Chain A
């Protein structure tokens, strides 16, 4: 019974997502021209000003390390925490030849 309900809920969520992804009701894919200016003005700013403001010709690195550096700090922290957790959980805690 619970599993049926869960499957129905998943089906409902899938239908809602399909409607959201439809170009007539929700998201548009392959933006260009005027749509680019309306929906992607932030990207336009990064592409136009990235090289002169940060200096790197790789715009992705400019964004990741300069404009949104806090995000990268968080990402590095996540990596550090996962490595520390993995190493701490996988350490030897009793001798194998007991």
Chain B
């Protein structure tokens, strides 16, 4: 039994995986403007990873997956989130100093570069969720001991 799906599924996966990725990146980067955010967009991009694994098979996915990289990315996402939360530590934890002092990301509410640390946090959480879900998926996919 071959691991990967047929030609039609693989071709459709080639077409849809970039679209899913772009849509997930849109959900993450517009998290402070439209519904969605880091968790939802990260799960969407992880869905592209699941589609890759199912369509192209485990051996193809193993070649492109390095668990050191993914665990490092997940930790990096968490650290960036905490760092963004600590930016205004002189006043309080989770003090949105970028927005209140107008340092960066301080445009009009409703534009892309607004809302202070919210876009940074959305990016960090999205990266974290994506890396975490993909590494959990790969761990489950590699674990195949059907016999006792």
Residues of A within 8 A of B (CB): 51-52, 54-58, 60-62, 64-66, 69-70, 72-73, 75-76, 79-80, 82-83, 86-87, 90-92, 96
Contacts and interface: CB of A to CB of B under 8 A. Distances in A.
A94 to B, nearest CB: 9
Contacts of A54: 96, 99, 115-116, 118
A65 B140 contact: no
Contact of B109 (A56, A80, A90): A56
Given A55-B32, A56-B32, A65-B94, 20 more contacts: A51-B109, A52-B109, A54-B116, A56-B114, A57-B109, A58-B34, A58-B35, A61-B32, A64-B37, A66-B118, A73-B81, A76-B78, A76-B125, A79-B128, A80-B78, A83-B74, A83-B133, A86-B139, A90-B143, A91-B139
Contacts of A56: 32-33, 109, 114-115, 118
A80 B118 contact: no
The main secondary structure of chain A at its interface with chain B is helix
Closest 6 CB pairs between A and B? A56-B32, A56-B115, A69-B94, A55-B115, A83-B132, A90-B139
A60 B129 CA distance: 18
28 contacts: A51-B109, A55-B106, A55-B115, A56-B33, A57-B33, A58-B37, A60-B35, A61-B115, A61-B122, A62-B115, A62-B118, A64-B37, A65-B118, A66-B94, A66-B118, A69-B94, A70-B94, A72-B81, A73-B81, A73-B85, A76-B81, A79-B129, A82-B136, A83-B74, A86-B136, A87-B71, A87-B139, A90-B143
A96 B81 CA distance: 40
A87 B133 CA distance: 10
A61 B28 CA distance: 11
A64 B117 CA distance: 12
A52 to B, nearest CB: 8
